[in-house]
């Protein structure tokens, strides 16, 4: 039975100084995921473990490494979906949680709900004994410095640039959302996505990552996908559901990913998507200057890339 694992760490104008560290972060996450798959782990466990590794890596805008919103706080979104029964969990605009993807999984497994937001998601995290952290613990480098200065009164440091026009010309702030899709040896598919969202977003803004069918989708009968990029566009075309739907209608994953991107372009959207089908075939597409991405090939070898042709 074929296995598959693909990851992403964002589709945007990734600066040169982040290229090597992003590639090694993806490689590390794939190594962890490959070991889990080889041990016979469930696809859901694999995507959660891989996304946790990416949330821990400050090169990416998810978990540790998230960006500040316009209020100078960190609000994160995440979702996870199991393809066998279409069970899913998600959190949005949640604060001071080290691993939003694991909180999303708890929403799926230990609540009657699919999506919890804001303070309610935080309360659920406390009830479940989830590891909480300080906002400072999620910030690194210039973002931590910015946070401290904003707290000291320099609110002018927070830019009010988040706007519908702000996604233009691919050069907007970091969109280093992370995600993973996996097919395990028993033919189970899963997908997970996590993000700190767009820089200087309006407080309460929620992107595509926690919205099923937009940022994350998995269905064992067809495929699993995770999206990254400008959330407002991805939401409007339900990118991951669109891509998996194309597979269901007979497209190969590579074509399905491209068809999804064509739909995203209808709304002027910028981003990328990874997808695996139930046969372990892979697809990646993006329309940004760079996309941090990686996958296991049919022999289980790790590949990572940022430039050029999707794969
Ligand atoms: N794709 C992540 C976001 O827009 O929030």
Please tell me the distance between residue 146's alpha carbon and the centre of ligand 1 in angstroms. Answer: 21
- Which of 195, 226, 236, when mutated, tests ligand 1's pocket best, judged by the most ligand atoms within 8 Å of its CB? 195
The mean pLDDT value for 88-92 works out to: 98
- Region of 197 (left: φ > 0; alpha: ψ -120 to 50; beta: rest) is left
Higher pLDDT, 147 or 95: 95
Residue 42 lies in a domain: yes
Q: Atom of ligand 1 at shortest distance to CA of 195?
A: 2
Average pLDDT, the chain: 92
pLDDT at 310: 59
In this prediction, residue 170 has a pLDDT band, given cuts at 50, 70 and 90, of very low
Q: Atom of ligand 1 at shortest distance to CA of 231?
A: 4
pLDDT digits (tens, 9 = 90+) for 94-108: 999 999 999 999 999
Please tell me the distance between residue 199's alpha carbon and the centre of ligand 1 in angstroms. Answer: 10
Residue 311 lies in a domain: no
Name the catalytic one among 49, 155, 177, 221.
Answer: 177
- Which of 92, 192, 208, when mutated, tests ligand 1's pocket best, judged by the most ligand atoms within 8 Å of its CB? 208
Residues with CB under 6 A from ligand 1: 175, 177, 195, 197-198, 207-209, 228-231
Query: What is the secondary structure of 85-140 as a DSSP string?
Result: TTEEEEEEEE-SBS-HHHHHHHHHHHSS-SEEEHHHHHHHHHHTTPPB--GGGG--
pLDDT at 174 over 70: no
User: What CATH number corresponds to the domain at position 163?
Assistant: 3.60.20.30
Among protein residues, the one with the nearest Cα to ligand 1's atom 4 is 231
Report yes or no: 173 and 199 within 8 Å, Cβ to Cβ: yes
Dihedrals φ, ψ of 224, to 5°? -135, 140
186: containing domain: 4-305
Residue 224 lies in a domain: yes
**Does 177 qualify as catalytic in the annotation?**
yes
**Count of beta carbons in the 10 Å neighbourhood of residue 38:** 11
Strand-strand pairing, 271-277 and 223-229: antiparallel
Residue 229 lies in a domain: yes
pLDDT at 152: 82
Strand-strand pairing, 76-82 and 189-195: antiparallel
pLDDT at 80: 98
pLDDT at 159: 64
Per the structure, the count of domains in the chain is 1
Report yes or no: 229 and 175 within 8 Å, Cβ to Cβ: yes
pLDDT digits (tens, 9 = 90+) for 44-82: 999 999 999 999 999 999 999 998 888 889 999 999 999
pLDDT at 158 over 80: no
Q: Which residue has the tokens 């296991």?
A: 296
Query: What is the secondary structure of 240-300 as a DSSP string?
Result: HHHHHHHHHTT--HHHHHHHHHHHHHHTT--EEEEEEETTS-EEEEE-SSEEEEEEE-TT-
Residue 310 lies in a domain: no
The residues with which 290 forms a beta bridge, in sequence order, are 12
The least confident of 110-114, 148-152, 191-195 is: 148-152
- Which of 229, 273, 274, 286, when mutated, tests ligand 1's pocket best, judged by the most ligand atoms within 8 Å of its CB? 229
Residue 17 lies in a domain: yes
The mean pLDDT value for 98-121 works out to: 98
Please tell me the distance between residue 69's alpha carbon and the centre of ligand 1 in angstroms. Answer: 12
């Amino acid at each position: 039975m074929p296995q598959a694992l693909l990851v992403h760490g964002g589709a945007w104008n990734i600066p040169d100084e982040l290229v090597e560290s992003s590639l090694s972060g993806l490689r590390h996450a794939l190594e962890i995921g490959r070991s889990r798959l080889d041990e016979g782990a469930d696809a859901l466990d694999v995507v959660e473990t891989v996304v946790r590794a990416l949330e821990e890596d400050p090169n990416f805008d998810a978990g540790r490494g998230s960006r500040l919103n316009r209020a100078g706080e960190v609000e994160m979104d995440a979702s996870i979906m199991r393809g066998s029964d279409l069970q899913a969990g998600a959190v949005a605009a949640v604060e001071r949680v080290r691993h939003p993807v694991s909180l999303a999984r708890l929403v799926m497994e230990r609540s009657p709900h699919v999506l919890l937001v804001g303070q309610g998601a935080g309360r659920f995290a406390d009830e479940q004994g989830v590891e909480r952290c300080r906002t400072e613990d999620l910030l690194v480098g210039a973002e931590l410095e910015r946070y401290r200065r904003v707290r000291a009164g320099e609110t002018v440091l927070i830019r009010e640039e988040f706007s519908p026009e702000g996604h233009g010309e691919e050069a907007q702030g970091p969109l280093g959302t992370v995600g993973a899709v996996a097919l395990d040896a028993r033919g189970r598919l899963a997908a997970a996505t996590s993000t700190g969202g767009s820089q200087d977003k309006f407080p309460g803004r929620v992107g595509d990552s926690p919205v099923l069918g937009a940022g994350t989708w998995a269905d064992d009968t067809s495929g699993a996908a995770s999206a990254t990029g400008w959330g407002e566009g991805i939401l409007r075309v339900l990118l991951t559901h669109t891509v998996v739907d194309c597979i269901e209608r007979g497209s190969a994953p590579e074509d399905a990913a491209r068809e999804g991107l064509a739909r995203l372009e209808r709304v002027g959207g910028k981003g990328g998507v990874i997808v695996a089908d139930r046969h372990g075939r892979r697809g990646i597409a993006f329309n940004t200057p760079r996309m941090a991405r990686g996958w296991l090939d049919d022999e289980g070898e790790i590949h990572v890339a940022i430039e050029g042709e999707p794969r």
